[in-house]
Amino acid sequence: MDKLIDKLNIFLKYLKSSETNEVIWVGRPGILFKNYADDNEHQGYHYHPIFIPENLAVNFYAGFCNATLWPLFHYMTAYVVYQEEQWQTYQRVNKLFCEAICNIIQGDDIVWIHDFHLLLLPQLLREKIPEIDIRFFLHMLFPSIEIFQLLPRFCRDKILRSMLGADSIEFFTPECRQFFVKGVRKTLGYKQDMGFITIKNRFVKVDSYYRDRGLLQNKIHHDSEINERLLLMRLKKEIKIILSIDSENNISNIINNLLFYKDFLEKNPKWHRQIILLVIVLPSYQGTFQNIKIKNQVQDTVAIINDKLGDNQWLPILYQQKIFTLDQMIACYSISNIALITLVDENTNVIIIEYLASKIQKKGVLILNQAIKIANQLNGAILINPHCKTELADALKRALEMNEIEQAARIINMQNILFNINMLSY
């Protein structure tokens, strides 16, 4: 829930400043509150927590969400695990959310549902309150029908029908939108016309939206005195900062990037004391034991590299494993000279957009894993195969030596591509 709050905080502030409507968060806090307050208000936001029993939560998050939907939607079919019990739990948790929302909703409320954890919720709410206004946004990729149909038929049919319970469905890219439309037509027989799918007496708008550049850049201007950013400014001096963001779920990718960086420094000693790799590892839903194990493994690798190549005045790698607020992420985006993004998950597209939005001065280079779907649309990015050390080394060297004129041209090109659609216009 914390991640979602950070990513949507700007949008909610926009709503608060432009409308008189109250905004209520409904979600699982992830912890048990000892002192639960009836007023449910914090920092000007109202919230309604849903407490899911621990046994259900494990089967829900680690089960159908992260073991079935997440790898399937990212085309990692070899890692997809389907268990009937987890599918039943997924349905049950979606019903818990439906019940909670029905208890607090009022006649003219708009319900904005987010991400793959709640794909069944739109239709559940539609059945309870037929006239309700429902919007749904998927924060990660939606796969092609050839991949999506790997789910059991009854499962995929229910997911598609349930998503169509919304009045508007938004995807992150036009390609994902097309995959959904094609899947609905082939599986359910509903056709799309002029951006709408007709279902009996209802019209469902299907579109793709990118994060609003103006809101992010306005926040960057107003939060320029962030402590973390000032610390990095002092650190930077003449040193170039390479920002790498990854997830605990992707331990092999993290280690691979660290070992590549070590190899690059060993073969290119002229960059010693000239660059720093800032590694941010985002926490996952895995259990505590697994988190500690991963953290120790990464920390050990970082320590070995810093000890071998660093000295009292220069550490080649700075490593952080924690939940970052949007303010802290903006600080890292803004000050970094290069972003090396090899992560492929539901956070990737948002990270790319936030990075580009932070580049007010048009300085910076974006190196992307070629497997990231949105990467093919960004002509200004340097695309690499993260498993090929030669490609990684060539890309990093090119990025480090790129002049500011070329950097600006590439950043402007990518910003124009990503921000030509304003999410708030919806």
- Residue-wise pLDDT for 248-290, tens only, equals 777 778 888 899 999 999 999 999 989 999 998 877 654 444 5
Confidence (pLDDT) at 117: 94
Quote the distance between the C-alpha of residue 136 and its chain's center.
Answer: 16
Domain 222-418 sits in CATH at: 3.40.50.2000
**CB neighbours (10 Å) of residue 125?**
24
Which sequence spans correspond to the domains of the chain? 52-208, 222-418
pLDDT confidence of 51, banded at 50, 70, 90? confident
pLDDT confidence of 326, banded at 50, 70, 90? confident
Give yes or no for a contact between 92 and 86, defined as CB atoms under 8 angstroms apart.
Answer: no
Beta strands in 218-274 (DSSP E): 240-247
Q: What are phi and psi of 323, to 5 degrees?
A: -85, 125
Do the domains 222-418 and 52-208 match in fold?
yes
Is domain 52-208 annotated with CATH 3.40.50.2000?
A: yes
Give the global pTM: 0.59
Confidence (pLDDT) at 291: 52
Q: Which residue has the tokens 């190899």?
A: 263
Most confident among 32-41, 83-92, 335-344 (mean pLDDT): 83-92
Q: How far apart are CA 94 and CA 325, in angstroms?
A: 27
Q: Which residue has the tokens 């959904």?
A: 180
CA angle 405, 406, 411 (to 5 degrees): 100
Ranking 219-228, 238-247, 349-358 by mean pLDDT, the lowest is 219-228
